[in-house]
Structure 1
Amino acid sequence: MRKSRKIILSIAGAATLAVSVSMAALAWGHGYTSDPPSRSALCASGEVTNCGNIQYEPQSVEGPKGFPAAGPADGSICSGGNGQFSQLDDPRGGNWPTTSVSAGPRTFTWTMTARHSTATFDYYITNANYDPAQPLTRADLGLTPIASFNMGGAQPDHTMTQTVTLPSRTGQHLVLAVWNIADTANAFYSCIDVDFGGGGSGDPSDPPTTTDPGTGDGCDAPAWASGSVYNGGAEVTHNGTAYRASWWTQGEEPGTTGEWGVWRQTATC
């Protein structure tokens, strides 16, 4: 009887250990871009809510590698094709917080919680077709990386910084950072929402946009109207100042939405 009790306790202890180990492996995940903050980082910090599981494990956006020829399907790129993180694919009406950037060198920082043997870090950026109010697809991206860092199988540091030269863009865009693992079939995906604040003229190789939200410095744009709907990129004038919308908006008065709000000042008229 006593021997049987010892066996049962041993089995129970082993099961508890196994669960603990598996939980630790889940929590001690992999890596994500933390500066500029990716969508998963914004969820983990609480700046964005209603994120589901990703708020607890921002490092775990893992999916098949081989992007863009393979990898996650269109519409599920930001989640790495991982259904439990589908909140990252939701464009939220174009309302993900953005980081202000400009054309030229920009440092990107990864936070690593597991130092996998690495093939490459690749960075892509959206083109003139991109609509921040729609889920990300390959048609929205330049499919040649704007930067690629070959690690040759080496392990990254717990904090990795890389300098990426951003091309000229105007308004709200998205940078897709992909960490390709050398010794597995997977990669980690980070979607980073950025805003060029009206700087730059766009990539001349990009196809033309189908609408022209404004011209010049914005001072010839129509006056803002509280009842009108404005999409990202729309330009208005209000109280002697020109503004550009970063995403869809209605009823938000230019000059009152603050540094991180929808309206970005482009000129004093």
Structure 2
Amino acid sequence: MRKSRRIILSIAGAGTLAVSASMAALAWGHGYTSDPPSRSALCATGDVTDCGAISYEPQSVEGPKGFPAAGPADGSICSAGHAEFAELDDPRGGNWPATTVDAGAQTFTWTMTAAHSTATFDYYITNDDYDPTQPLTRDMLDLEPIASIEMGGARPDHTMTHDVTLPERSGRHMILSVWNIADTVNAFYSCVDVDFGGDSGGGEETPTDAATTDAPTDEPTGCDASVWDTAAVYTAGDEVTHDGIAYRAGWWTTGEEPGTTGEWGVWKQTAAC
């Protein structure tokens, strides 16, 4: 009886270890688009702040493969459906820094931290319905890839470069690059903000109308802003007052009460009114 119990416990323990190892493998990240810099890369280099966990593991944006028929849900494509990386889906008022590009040849570079047997690298571009102030959805994308690089199960090098021909576009757009793994059910997703036309965007450094030299000297900047409304939508640079304090939004937000989001939250105090 004791021997049987030991065997059962051993099998159970082995099963637990196998599940744990499988979950660890899924959680460990492996690669991201680094040039032009994806949102993950911008967070990792500190060019964009208030990014949360993705700042420390830009290579971890792993989700189900099979895009566009399968894969992450609309609105969470850039984070691959990871709630802990939701900052990547936040459009920040359309103010993510964007790389200036033109129609024609463009080189994309992936940085790998672990090699996987690879099926394809696929590249998608947004269409005329793209709204950079909204989270990415499938109806904003051309669902035929503009490039698909077949790997036939080969493992990539530490860096991989691909020559992609970009179609004609104007203004801000997004390139979605997808690394499809051959021997797992997953893929890695990278969202790259680009600008056809040269306006690369200022990200969170874009000055706002409130920060002008015409602000009255006898009242702190921001104190003439409207009172925060729990139902309103605010984007990067918007200013409000709440409980006698002026705040500025760091990115897109709604329903988050100023003064409660913490040091790394969306609202930054600018003045006591």
Q: Same fold (TM over 0.5)?
A: yes
Q: Which runs of 5+ in 2 are unaligned?
A: 1-20, 200-208, 211-234, 239-273
Give the equivalent residue in structure 1 for 2:38.
Answer: 38
| 8 A contact 2:29–2:61 mirrored in 1 | no
Please state whether the residue corresponding to 1:111 is helix, strand or coil.
Answer: strand
Give the equivalent residue in structure 2 for 1:96.
Answer: 96
| 8 A contact 1:180–1:186 mirrored in 2 | yes
| 1:75 lines up with 2:75 in the alignment | yes
| 8 A contact 1:177–1:189 mirrored in 2 | yes
| 8 A contact 1:39–1:191 mirrored in 2 | yes
**How far apart, CA to CA, are the structure 2 residues paired with 1:57 and 1:164?**
26
Give the equivalent residue in structure 1 for 2:174.
Answer: 174
Distance 1:109 1:116, change over 3 A: same
**How far apart, CA to CA, are the structure 2 residues paired with 1:130 and 1:146?**
16
Give the equivalent residue in structure 1 for 2:133.
Answer: 133
Q: Deviations over 1:178-215 (max 9, x none)?
A: 0000000000000000000179xxxxxxxxxxxxxxxx
CA drift of 1:52 comes to: 0.7
Distance 1:28 1:248, change over 3 A: closer
Question: Please, what TM-score do these two structures have when normalized by structure 2?
Answer: 0.63
Aligned length: 184
**How far apart, CA to CA, are the structure 1 residues paired with 2:181 and 2:29?**
14
Q: Deviations over 1:215-265 (max 9, x none)?
A: xxxxxxxxxxx79xxxxxxxxxxxxxxxxxxx9999xxxxxxxxxxxxxxx
Q: Which runs of 5+ in 1 are unaligned?
A: 1-20, 200-225, 228-246, 251-269
**How far apart, CA to CA, are the structure 1 residues paired with 2:30 and 2:42?**
17
User: Root-mean-square deviation (CA), in Å?
Assistant: 2.4
Q: Deviations over 1:73-128 (max 9, x none)?
A: 00000001111111100000001000000000000000000000000000000000
Give the equivalent residue in structure 1 for 2:65.
Answer: 65
Identity, in percent, stands at 76
Q: Where do 4+ consecutive residues of structure 1 move more than 3 Å?
A: 24-28, 247-250
| 8 A contact 2:101–2:198 mirrored in 1 | no
Distance 1:88 1:121, change over 3 A: same
**How far apart, CA to CA, are the structure 2 residues paired with 1:84 and 1:173?**
25
